[in-house]
Amino acid sequence: MPVPVLTVDGPSGSGKGTLAQTLAQHLGWHLLDSGALYRIVGLVAVEQGVDFDDEIGLAAIAGHLDIRFTPANPGEPAAVLLSGRDISSDVRSEQSGYYASRVAVFSAVRSGLLALQRGFAKAPGLVADGRDMGTDVFTDAPLKIFLTASAEQRAERRYKQLIDKGESVNLAALLEDIRLRDKRDSERAIAPLRPASDAVLIDSTALNREEVFQRVIELLRLRSLI
Ligand code: C5P
* Residue 219: alpha-carbon gap to chain centroid: 21
Claim: this prediction has a pTM higher than 0.95: no
**Cα of 38 to ligand 1 centre, how many Å?**
6
For the segment 59-75, the average pLDDT, to the nearest whole number, is 88
Decide which of 93 and 152 is more confident: 152
Q: Residue 146: helix, strand or coil by DSSP?
A: strand
Considering the domain boundaries, does residue 225 fall inside one? Answer: no
C-beta of 132 in contact with ligand 1 (< 6 A):
yes
Mean per-residue pLDDT for 217-225? 97
174: in domain:
yes
Contact 40, 95 (CB under 8 A): no
Q: Given a cut of 80, is residue 109 above it in pLDDT?
A: yes
Query: Does the residue 120 lie in any domain?
Result: yes
Element (H, E) at 32: strand 30-33
CATH number at residue 62: 3.40.50.300
How many domains in the chain? Answer: 1
Q: What are phi and psi of 159, to 5 degrees?
A: -55, -50
Q: Is residue 76 part of a domain?
A: yes
Residue 59 lies in a domain: yes
pLDDT at residue 186 in the model: 87
User: Which residue from 5, 9, 34, 158 has its CB within 8 A of the most atoms of ligand 1, so it is best to mutate?
Assistant: 34
**Range of the structural domain that residue 152 is part of:** 5-220
Q: Would 196 be classed as within a structural domain?
A: yes
Question: What is the 25 CA–ligand 1 centroid distance (Å)?
Answer: 22
Residue 13 domain flag: yes
Examine the pLDDT at 119 and tell me if it is beyond 80: yes
Determine, yes or no, domain membership for 226.
Answer: no
